[in-house]
Amino acid sequence: MTSPASADQPRNPATSRGATAGERGGATICLLAVGLVFVLVGLFGAAVGAAQTARQQARVVADLGALAGAGQALQGEPTACRRAAEIAAANGGSLLACRLDGLDVLVTAEVAVTPLPGLARVATATARAGPVRG
């Protein structure tokens, strides 16, 4: 038989299982924290990947610009550098510097990248192209 005082008290299912009211939802908070860590690591990985891709693209832009300029080297520096700038722009970059050294063309190109919103960076590369020397 139960006492009348205990019959009047409402039963709390959480306390009857041994858990206190302050522990309810703790696993949810931990799970949300782990999820946030995964999201942040993913964003960091995407930013690093975007920066590496931009660096490679800058190398390609500089190489192609130098090759295009070397094909026009006999017409002089203005013609060779204009052609290099056209090819660099067609490949998503911009020409920073161009000069003719004999029949070699030296090109410096850049590619802009935004790995994360509000974070803009520029990848730069230099390339040289000219006739084969033996």
> Sorting pLDDT into bands at 50, 70 and 90, what band is 12?
low
Q: For 13-43, what is each residue's pLDDT tens digit? A: 555 555 555 667 788 899 999 999 999 999 9
DSSP structural state of residue 27: H
Whole-angstrom Cα distance, residue 57 to residue 83? 18
Cβ contact 72:131 at 8 Å = no
Residue 100, classed as helix, strand or coil, is strand
pTM over 0.85: no
